């Protein structure tokens, strides 16, 4: 049931694994917004929090996402797949500018399995706003993983 005037936040990741010009996999997965993420988002509304969520971190663990998460289960810090600042914009889903978008293409410098992704407010540690897991993307050197995160506010 939707209550008229209620604010809803819906987030999802699109993950595209490529080797050269070949798309090996592409999927869109809804995220789990964390309790800490909801708290920080509420603080952004009335300036009780500063900054925003623009950092993407990749995970080597397939441990299911949970609202109580405060970090990725096994964040990747090597192989060209470390946490990075994404290109941020607002896009239109239903109403003009109603969706925050983060976009980043990672390029592997070594073999590594990627099984999840999360959104953070800082380059290290910080608040984990949302995360998801997926079937392993077995990255080889020079493979790319394009991650698009969208959070719709309605």
Give the up-direction half-sphere exposure of residue 98: CA atoms within 13 A in the CB hemisphere: 12
**CA-wise closest residue to 126 among 29, 36, 16:** 36
pLDDT, tens digit, 9 for 90 and up, residues 53-93:
999 999 999 999 999 999 999 999 999 999 999 999 999 99
Range 104-119 average pLDDT: 98
Question: Model's pTM, two decimal places?
Answer: 0.92
**CA-wise closest residue to 120 among 54, 76, 58, 70:** 54
| Mean of per-residue pLDDT scores for the chain | 93
Check residue 2 and give its pLDDT: 54
Check residue 4 and give its pLDDT: 60
């Amino acid at each position: 049931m939707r209550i008229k005037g209620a604010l809803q936040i819906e987030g999802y990741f699109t993950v595209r694994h490529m080797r050269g010009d070949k798309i090996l996999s592409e999927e869109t997965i809804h995220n789990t917004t964390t309790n800490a993420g909801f708290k920080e988002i509420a603080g952004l509304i009335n300036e009780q929090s500063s900054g925003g969520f623009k950092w993407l971190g990749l995970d080597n663990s397939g441990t299911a996402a949970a609202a109580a998460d405060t970090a990725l289960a096994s964040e990747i810090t090597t192989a060209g797949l470390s946490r990075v600042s994404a290109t941020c914009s607002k896009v239109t889903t239903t109403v003009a500018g109603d969706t925050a978008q983060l976009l980043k293409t990672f390029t592997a410098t070594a073999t590594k399995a990627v099984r999840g992704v999360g959104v953070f407010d800082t380059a290290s540690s910080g608040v984990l706003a949302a995360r998801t897991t997926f079937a392993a993307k077995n990255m080889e050197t020079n493979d790319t993983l394009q991650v698009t995160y969208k959070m719709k506010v309605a």
